[in-house]
Every structure is written in structure tokens, then in C-alpha cells.
């Protein structure tokens, strides 16, 4: 049997579309974990990135922390945290957030730091307050790059959120973990396909946000 | 151009720089005990070689750079007394590459300071549209973004943005140095025209001495190490450079440039050589000159011809030599007249009235005499003659 047959079998089985283990439920859970993790990571990464990028200070320390964080294996971290803290949503969120903060933080920092200095100089010379300079002069120009950082963080979260299933939570990882355990490869392939589709939808979503939020003057078309 | 300091209109303010020194943290002394009295409602130019401290001086006026020693007074009040944002909002600031906000339309770029000051969107935009016209920008560009404008247009937007809240002071740091010479001349003329209307106190930084002489009511020549070499009106600078450094900085053609400050109105014109294209043989033979200036029936110049080549009734106007750029005695300077004479094949400059009709010609020798007597008469006119 090839992969397409698995996919076909998985999605045409009506049993997979209902109940607590149905596709809609698992998808919803997966999206919930991902959105929560992204929101937490953004709540840390964006302010720190914006501030360090604006002042131009702390860049080296940031790069160091980001590299260190990237070297941590998410799954290993999960196991470690579960051993320390037990099961629950929090042990899942910690590795996901640690995974997502570096791309957000580093790109935001770089995006703001590399904004053309002359409009910033002009803005300061016109008597704008620093916060206004950051949000009304630097941010709109840095936005495409900041969004790309958020986007790669989001993609990584979506594909890594499958680890939630290892600690008895839901999400699309459930199909993969259960399928492997039950040797039900139809389920494994179906789950993996759903994760891939969700990642593509995430990409499309970010593209749309970029179209709406980035000024045509910055997009240059 | 009218002498800007005599402008009764306007809202300019007097700036006094009082033995100001700027020492950067790395020990560089960018400005050294500089004192300058910048008159209100006029253009004061800071000029000098690269690294002499022009930008530093300018940026100390709006406190983008804080002086290490000394004080700067704005209308008698120490600028340190005012909140820095309030101070800056009372001073327009124009920089070399315009520094426009690329995410905002042209209109919203110009409306920036009014918006910061809390004006409503409609009012700020109406004001911005008014300024677009004032700086010579087509209002059809209002909805465009900066990347859709040429460098010269962007620079106009930069000037409009700086003027939007009608500040008494305008600080300009090499605003026109990134555009080509033709566009630059247009921008300079526009600035002089705007200044005539608005009467701001403008501090203008450039490293181009010609620009300084053209724009400045007062010119401060600075030298390396942030020292003031000379502070004088441009005509005085050209006639009496303070030292070898200033003389050198003014360049080799200082004498020629100085002629810009002498009007051409006094030049004696002759009309004997001026002949219409339908002249008779007697009219052609009359003048005792080898070169004749041929005009059309209206009196507009067509070109120079040598008398021996001209046949009455059959003057081939397409064979005439070009008469070059004529000068207008009422508004041009001796420099323009001399230039016109030097370029003429006949060695004579052509004078025309405002409508372009020939009023006479004048020889290089006569212009030379006028120059000698003008120099002997001492100082050039303080008011600049358009050249
Ligand atoms: N932030 C700074 N820190 C240290 N030194 C500086 C700083 N800014 C300027 N300088 C130095 O101060 C001196 C004057 O600089 P400034 O920018 O005022 O010169 P300028 O006359 O505007 O030159 P240019 O025509 O090249 O723009 C230079 O030697 C420069 O290297
Ligand atoms: Mg400079």
C-alpha cells in the first residue's frame, strides 16, 4: 500500500470525523495549542526585540541566548519538564515557547535595527517621542521582516505541537502517537498529512496578514 | 532677490551660539568655542570642508547633539530651558536624503508634525496639500508613496514636511547635495522664493561654496577642528577673504564670482551694430563694425553675422552664428553680462528687455571698464543680483 492509499482511507472513514477523537476536535486542539504557544512567544519576543532593536543595545546577548535556545531539543525538554512538573498543558507550552521565541526575537531585533536611519533621524529632529518613533516610524517599515519571524515560529510550533500527545494531551499528534502504538499506519499518515496542511494554511494566513498590514509604500507595489 | 533680512513678513527667530564646544565621547573636538549670531528671517549658511563640524553645529541647535560647553539662545532664551520635543517642533529639520517615511503617502508625510501637535487628520491634510503647492509639487502626487518620487521631488517633500507646522526656524543639512545640478538649481531657486514669502530663520549646511554664496545672507566658513574661519555676507567674503584658508576655499574664480554682486544696469549699450533681417544695403554698410547683430522684425535677436558675408535683401538667417544667452540689464549681474560677451563670436554681449527684444550690445572691453570701476567703488551691493 502506498501513502496516498493511507491518506484516502483515513479521510474517507466517517468514524474519523466525529467524537472526541474526530478530526475536527483534534484539529481544534492543535490550533489551540499552537495559537497559545505563538501568543506567549510573541508576548516575550516582540517587546524585547522591538526595544533592543530600537536602542541597538543587547544584540550580542540576544544572539547568544537565541543560539542556546535553538540547541535545546524540544522533545527532550518536554520529557525533562514532565519528570519535574508532571503532566499538563504547561509542560507542553514551555518547550514550544522556547522553540518559538528565538526566531521572533532575533528577526524583530534585526528588523528594527536595520531600518533606514535617516527617517528615524528626521522623526527625532521633528520632536517625536521615542515610543512614537518606534511604533509609527520603525515598526511599519520593519513589519515584513517581523512577520516573517512570526511565520517561521508559527510553522515550527504547528509541526512541533504534536509532542502534546506524548503527555496525554490531544491535538493532531494523537493520531501519530496512537497510530504508531497501534500499528495503524493509516492513522499515522492521516495525522501527519493534517499537520502539513495546517502548516500550509498558516503560511497562507501570514501571507494574507502581510498583504493587509504592510503599507504599499513598504511593499513597493 | 530681495534682501531677506528686510522681509517684514515671517516668523523667524534669532539664534545666538555663544562659545559652544562639542567634544564627542571619543575625544574628537568637532566644534571649538564657536560663537555665531544668526540673524532672524534670513538664510545663514554653514560651509566648510568635510568633517569641519557643520552637522554637529546644526544639530546642537535642535539638541540632537548636546554641547559640551557654551550656550545657545533662541530669541534670548537658553534652549536647554525648553523641553526638547517642544524645541524641536518649533524647528523644521531637513536632511540630505529627505528621510521620508516610506510607509506613508506624500500627503501624510507632510502632515506629520501637525499630527504630532494634535491637529485633526482633515486639518493636517489640508495644510499638507497647501504646502505641496508652496514647494512646487503637483498635488496629483499626494497619494503616492516616497519610492514613486524622484530624488528632487522627495527633497521638496522633505522641505514641505519641515514647514508644515509653520516653525520659525528651519535647519537644513546638505538638503540638495544628492540631486543633479539642474534639479539642485531648481530647488535652490524654490528655497529663495519660499524664503521671500515666509521669512524664516534658516540655517543651511553645505560643503558647496557656490550654493553658500547663492543662498546665504550670511555665510559662516568653518575649518577643520570646528573653528570659524570667517563670518560675513557673501559679497564681503569674495572681496575680502579673511585668510589664505578662506581664499583657497573660495576657489580660483573668486573674482569672476564676485561679479554676481554688481548689477549690469549701468553698462553703456550701443545699438549701431543692431540690424533687422530686412535691412537695406545702406543700413548694412553704415556701422563701422565687422560684426552685426541681426534681429527679426520684432527686435528679437537671431544671430551674429560678419558684414562681408551679408547681402542686403538676402540675409540667410540660418547661416548666422548663435548670439548666446543674452542678459537683462535690469536684473542680471556683470557676471552674466561678461559671460554673455565671452561666449559671443563677436565679443559683444547682447542686452534684451523683459520681453526678449534687443536693447543694445556691449563689448568685452566696455564690460572690463565697468568691472574696474565697480571694484574701485569698493563694496559690492549688499543686495544680491540674480545671476
Ligand atoms: N557621534 C560622533 N562621535 C565621535 N565623533 C564624531 C561624531 N559625529 C561626528 N564626529 C566627528 O566630529 C567631526 C565633525 O563632524 P560633523 O559631522 O559635524 O562634520 P561635517 O562638517 O558635517 O562633515 P560632512 O561635510 O562630511 O558632513 C568629524 O571629525 C567627525 O568624525
Ligand atoms: Mg555633515
DSSP B327: B
B259 DSSP 8-state letter: G
Residue B383: the pLDDT is: 46
Q: Cα separations (Å) of B115 from A1, B112, B118?
A: 67, 5, 5
In whole angstroms, what is the distance from residue A78 CA to residue A71 CA? 14
Model confidence pLDDT, tens digit, residues B196-238 = 999 999 999 999 999 999 999 999 999 998 999 999 999 999 9
Interface test with A, best of B99, B105, B164 (most A CBs within 10 A): B99
Task: Give me the number of domains chain A comprises.
Answer: 1
Q: Average pLDDT for residues B334-338, to the nearest whole number?
A: 93
Indicate the residue of A121, A124, A216 with minimum beta-carbon distance to B145.
A216
Q: Does A179 fall in a domain?
A: yes
What per-residue confidence (pLDDT) applies to B9?
Answer: 55
Note the pLDDT tens digit of each residue in B20-58.
999 999 999 999 999 999 999 999 999 999 999 999 999
Closest CA to A212 of A139, A125, A143: A143
pLDDT exceeding 70 applies to what percent of chain B?
Answer: 95
Identify the residues whose C-beta falls under 6 Å from ligand 1. Answer: B 24, 26, 28, 30, 50-56, 207
Q: How many helices (H) and strands (E) does chain B have?
A: 14, 15
From first to last of the 221 residues of chain A, give the pLDDT tens digit.
578 888 888 888 888 888 888 999 999 999 999 999 999 999 999 999 999 999 988 878 887 888 888 788 888 888 888 888 888 888 889 999 999 999 999 999 999 999 999 999 999 999 999 999 999 999 999 999 999 999 999 999 999 999 888 888 889 999 999 999 999 989 999 999 999 999 999 999 999 999 999 999 999 87
Residues B341-361 have pLDDT tens digits of 998 888 999 999 999 999 999
Beta strands B358-363; B348-352: pairing state: antiparallel
Cβ separation A122–B104 shorter than 8 A: no
More confident residue, B32 or B386: B32
Q: Which residues lie closer than 8 Å to B190 by C-beta, 6 or more apart?
A: B135, B136, B156, B159
Partner-chain residue, chosen from B89, B97, B158, that has the shortest CB–CB distance to A127? B89
Please enumerate in sequence order all residues whose Cβ is within 8 A of that of B8, keeping only pairs 6 or more positions apart, or say none.
Answer: B199
Residue B14 has pLDDT above 70, yes or no: yes
| DSSP line for chain A | --HHHHHHHHHH-GGGGSSTTSHHHHHHHHHHHHHHHHHHHHHHHHHHHHHHHHH--SHHHHHHHHHHHHHS-HHHHHHHHHHHH-SSHHHHHHHHHHHHHHHHHHHHHHHHHTS-HHHHHHHHHTT--HHHIIIIIIHHHHHHHHHHHHHHHHHHHHHHGGGGGGGT--STHHHHHHHHHHT-HHHHHHHHHHHHHHHHHHHHHHHHHHHHHS-HHHHT-
Model pLDDT for residues A109-156, shown as the tens digit of each residue: 999 999 999 999 999 999 999 999 999 999 999 999 999 999 999 999
Length of chain B: 387
pLDDT band of B10, cuts 50, 70, 90 = low
Q: In DSSP terms, which residues pair with B275 in a beta bridge?
A: B294
pLDDT score, position A71: 81
Q: Of the residues B28, B61, B171, B220, which should be mutated to test ligand 1's pocket, given the most ligand atoms within 8 Å of the CB?
A: B28
- B355 part of contact set with chain A, CB < 8 Å: no
| Share above pLDDT 90 across residues of chain B, in percent, rounded to a whole number | 75
Question: How crowded is the C-beta side of B39, counted as CA atoms within 13 Å?
Answer: 19
* Chain B positions in Cβ-Cβ contact with residue A137 (cut-off 8 Å): 101
Residue B310: what pLDDT? 82
pLDDT at B372 over 70: yes
pLDDT at B252: 82
* Residue of B55, B56, B101 to mutate, testing the A interface (most A Cβ within 10 Å of its Cβ): B101
Instruction: Establish if B122 touches chain A: CB-CB under 8 angstroms.
Output: no
For residue A221, tell me if it sits in a domain: no
Query: Is it the case that residue B386 has pLDDT exceeding 80?
Result: no
Element (H, E) at B214: helix B209-215
For residue A126, list chain B residues with Cβ-Cβ distance below 8 A: 88-89, 93, 112-113, 116, 161-162
pLDDT category at B94 given cuts 50, 70, 90 is very high
**How many CB atoms lie under 10 A from the CB of residue B87?**
18
Mean pLDDT of chain B: 90
Q: Whose CA is nearest to atom 1 of ligand 1?
A: B24
Give the ligand whose atoms come closest to the C-alpha of residue B49.
1
What pTM was computed for the model?
0.85
Provide the pLDDT confidence category of residue B387 given band limits of 50, 70 and 90: very low
Find the CATH number of the domain harbouring A138: 1.10.3720.10
Report the separation in Å between the CA atom of B42 and the middle of ligand 2, taken as the mean of its atom positions: 21
Contact B95 A216 (CB under 8 A): no
Q: Quick one: pLDDT at residue B333?
A: 92
Identify whether A21 is part of a domain. yes
Report CB contact under 8 Å: B103, A141. yes
Find the mean pLDDT for residues B185-203.
94
CB environment B143-161: b (16+ within 10 A), e (fewer): ebbbeebeebbbbbbbbbb
In B, which residues are within 8 Å of A218 by CB distance? 102-103
**Domain boundaries, position A176:** 3-213
Q: How many angstroms is it from B64 CA to the middle of ligand 2?
A: 13
Residues B372-384: what's their mean pLDDT? 64
Q: Which residues of A touch B (CB under 8 A)?
A: 116, 118-129, 132, 137, 140-141, 215-218, 220
Distance B218 CA to ligand 2 centre (A): 19
Assign residue B130 a region (left: φ > 0; alpha: ψ between -120 and 50; beta: otherwise). alpha
In a domain, A218, yes or no: no
B140 DSSP 8-state letter: G
Q: What pLDDT, in 10s, does the model give residues B117-131?
A: 999 999 999 999 999
Q: How far is CA A87 from CA A12, A78, A98, A165, B339, in A?
A: 34, 10, 18, 11, 92
CA pair distance B344, B155, nearest whole angstrom: 37
Can you give the three-state secondary structure of A173-184, one letter per residue? HHHHHHHHHHCC
Instruction: Please answer yes or no on whether B104 and A217 come within 8 Å at the CB atom.
Output: yes
SS3 B332: coil
CA dist., res. A55 & res. A175, Å (int): 46
CB–CB of B181/B195 below 8 Å?
Answer: no
Confirm if B173 and B65 have CB atoms less than 8 A apart: no
* CB of B174 closer than 8 Å to CB of B207: yes
**C-alpha distance from A219 to closest chain B C-alpha (Å):** 9
- The ligand 1 atom nearest the CA atom of B55: 22
Q: What is the pLDDT of residue B3?
A: 40
CA dist B129 and A19 (Å) reads 62
Task: Give per-residue pLDDT as tens, B250-277.
Answer: 988 888 888 988 999 999 999 988 988 8
Is the Cα torsion angle B314, B317, B318, B323 positive or negative in sign?
Answer: positive
- According to the model, what pLDDT value does residue B378 have? 56
Q: Are the beta carbons of A162 and A176 closer than 8 angstroms?
A: yes
Amino acid at each position: 500500500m502506498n501513502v496516498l492509499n493511507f491518506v484516502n482511507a483515513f479521510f474517507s472513514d466517517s468514524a474519523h470525523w466525529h467524537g472526541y477523537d474526530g478530526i475536527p476536535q483534534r484539529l481544534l486542539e492543535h490550533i489551540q495549542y499552537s495559537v497559545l504557544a505563538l501568543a506567549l512567544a510573541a508576548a516575550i519576543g516582540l517587546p524585547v526585540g522591538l526595544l533592543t532593536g530600537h536602542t541597538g543595545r543587547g544584540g550580542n546577548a540576544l544572539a547568544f541566548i537565541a543560539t542556546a535556545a535553538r540547541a535545546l531539543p524540544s522533545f527532550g525538554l518536554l520529557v525533562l519538564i514532565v519528570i519535574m512538573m508532571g503532566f499538563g498543558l504547561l509542560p507542553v507550552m514551555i518547550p514550544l515557547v522556547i522553540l518559538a521565541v528565538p526566531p521572533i526575537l532575533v528577526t524583530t531585533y534585526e528588523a528594527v535595527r536595520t531600518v533606514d536611519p535617516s527617517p528615524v533621524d528626521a522623526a527625532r529632529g521633528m520632536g517625536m517621542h521615542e515610543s512614537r518613533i518606534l511604533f509609527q516610524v520603525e515598526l511599519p517599515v520593519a513589519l515584513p521582516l517581523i512577520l516573517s519571524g512570526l511565520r517561521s515560529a508559527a510553522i515550527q510550533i504547528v509541526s512541533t505541537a504534536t509532542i502534546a500527545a506524548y503527555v496525554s494531551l490531544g491535538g493532531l499528534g494523537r493520531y501519530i502517537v496512537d497510530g504508531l502504538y497501534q500499528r495503524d499506519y493509516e492513522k499515522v499518515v492521516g495525522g501527519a498529512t493534517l499537520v502539513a496542511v495546517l502548516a500550509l494554511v498558516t503560511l497562507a494566513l501570514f501571507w494574507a496578514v502581510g498583504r493587509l498590514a504592510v503599507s504599499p509604500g513598504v511593499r513597493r507595489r | 532677490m530681495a534682501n531677506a533680512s528686510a522681509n517684514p513678513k515671517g516668523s523667524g527667530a534669532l539664534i545666538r551660539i555663544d562659545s559652544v564646544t562639542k567634544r564627542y565621547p571619543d575625544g574628537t573636538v568637532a566644534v571649538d568655542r564657536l560663537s555665531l549670531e544668526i540673524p532672524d528671517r534670513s538664510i545663514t549658511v554653514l560651509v566648510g570642508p568635510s568633517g569641519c563640524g557643520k552637522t554637529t553645529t546644526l544639530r546642537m541647535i535642535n539638541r540632537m547633539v548636546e554641547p559640551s560647553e557654551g550656550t545657545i539662545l533662541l530669541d534670548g532664551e537658553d534652549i536647554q530651558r525648553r523641553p526638547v520635543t517642544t524645541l524641536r517642533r518649533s524647528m523644521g529639520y531637513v536632511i540630505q536624503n529627505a528621510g521620508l517615511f516610506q510607509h506613508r503617502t506624500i500627503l501624510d508625510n507632510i502632515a506629520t508634525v501637525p499630527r504630532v501637535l494634535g491637529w485633526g487628520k482633515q486639518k493636517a491634510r489640508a495644510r499638507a496639500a497647501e504646502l505641496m503647492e508652496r514647494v512646487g509639487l503637483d498635488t496629483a502626487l499626494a497619494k503616492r508613496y516616497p519610492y514613486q518620487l524622484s530624488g528632487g521631488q522627495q527633497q521638496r517633500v522633505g522641505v514641505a514636511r519641515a514647514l508644515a507646522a509653520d516653525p520659525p526656524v528651519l535647519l537644513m543639512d546638505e538638503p540638495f547635495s544628492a540631486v543633479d545640478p539642474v534639479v539642485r538649481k531648481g530647488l535652490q531657486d524654490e528655497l529663495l522664493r519660499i524664503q521671500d514669502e515666509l521669512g524664516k530663520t534658516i540655517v543651511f549646511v553645505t560643503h558647496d561654496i557656490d550654493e553658500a554664496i547663492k543662498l546665504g545672507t550670511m555665510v559662516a566658513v568653518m575649518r577643520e577642528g570646528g573653528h570659524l574661519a570667517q563670518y560675513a555676507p557673501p559679497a564681503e567674503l569674495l572681496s575680502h577673504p579673511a585668510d589664505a584658508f578662506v581664499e583657497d576655499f573660495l576657489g580660483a574664480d573668486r573674482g569672476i564670482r564676485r561679479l554676481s554682486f554688481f548689477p549690469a544696469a549701468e553698462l553703456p549699450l550701443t545699438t549701431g551694430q543692431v540690424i533687422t533681417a530686412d535691412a537695406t544695403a545702406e543700413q548694412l554698410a553704415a556701422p563701422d563694425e565687422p560684426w552685426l547683430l541681426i534681429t527679426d522684425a520684432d527686435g528679437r535677436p537671431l544671430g551674429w553675422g560678419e558684414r562681408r558675408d551679408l547681402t542686403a535683401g538676402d540675409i540667410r538667417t540660418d547661416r548666422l552664428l548663435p548670439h548666446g544667452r543674452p542678459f537683462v540689464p535690469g536684473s542680471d549681474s556683470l557676471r552674466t553680462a561678461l559671460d554673455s560677451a565671452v561666449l559671443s563670436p563677436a565679443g559683444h554681449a547682447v542686452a534684451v528687455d523683459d520681453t526678449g527684444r534687443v536693447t543694445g550690445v556691449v563689448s568685452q572691453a566696455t564690460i572690463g571698464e565697468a568691472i574696474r570701476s565697480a571694484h574701485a567703488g569698493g563694496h559690492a551691493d549688499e543686495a544680491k543680483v540674480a545671476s
